[in-house]
Structure 1
Amino acid sequence: MIDDRVSQYCKWETYTSREAAVNYVKDIAIPHPWFKAICLESRPIGAIYVTPFTGGDRCRGELSYALGSKYWGQGIATKAVKMVVNCIFNEWPDLPKK
Structure 2
Amino acid sequence: MLDPLLSPTLELPQWQARLRPWSFADAPALVEYANNQRIAQNLRDTFPHPYTKQDAEFYLCLMADQQRDLHLAIEADGNAVGSIGVHFKTDVRRRSAEIGYWLGQPYWGRGLATAAVQLVSNYVFAHFDVCRLYAVVFESNPASARVLEKAGFELEALMRKSVVKDKGILNSLLYAKIKEE
TM-score (structure 2 length as normaliser)? 0.50
How much is the aligned-residue C-alpha RMSD, in angstroms? 1.4
Aligned partner of 2:130 in structure 1 is 95
2:54 is the counterpart of 1:19: yes
Aligned partner of 2:38 in structure 1 is 5
Equivalent position SS for 1:50: strand
Matched ranges for 1:1-98 at <5 A: 1-11=34-44, 12-27=47-62, 29-30=63-64, 31=66, 33-92=69-128, 94-96=129-131, 97-98=179-180
Equivalent position SS for 2:85: strand
Cα distance in structure 2, aligned partners of 1:2 and 1:78: 22
Cα distance in structure 2, aligned partners of 1:9 and 1:77: 15
Unmatched 5+ stretches in structure 1: none
**Greater strand share, structure number:** 2
| Higher mean displacement: 15-24 or 52-61 | 15-24
Equivalent position SS for 1:37: strand
TM-score (structure 1 length as normaliser)? 0.88
User: Displacement of 1:14 after TM fit?
Assistant: 2.1
Cα distance in structure 2, aligned partners of 1:9 and 1:70: 16
Runs of 4+ in 1 over 3 A off after TM superposition: none
Unmatched 5+ stretches in structure 2: 1-33, 132-178
Equivalent position SS for 2:73: strand
User: Displacement of 1:16 after TM fit?
Assistant: 3.6
Contact 2:71-2:85 within 8 A present in 1 as well: yes
User: Displacement of 1:15 after TM fit?
Assistant: 4.3
RCO (CA 8 Å, sep 6+): is it higher in 1 or 2?
1
Q: How many residues align?
A: 96
Cα distance in structure 2, aligned partners of 1:58 and 1:16: 33
Cα distance in structure 1, aligned partners of 2:48 and 2:54: 14
Cα distance in structure 1, aligned partners of 2:115 and 2:84: 11
User: Displacement of 1:43 after TM fit?
Assistant: 0.9
Cα distance in structure 2, aligned partners of 1:16 and 1:89: 32
Cα distance in structure 1, aligned partners of 2:121 and 2:48: 27
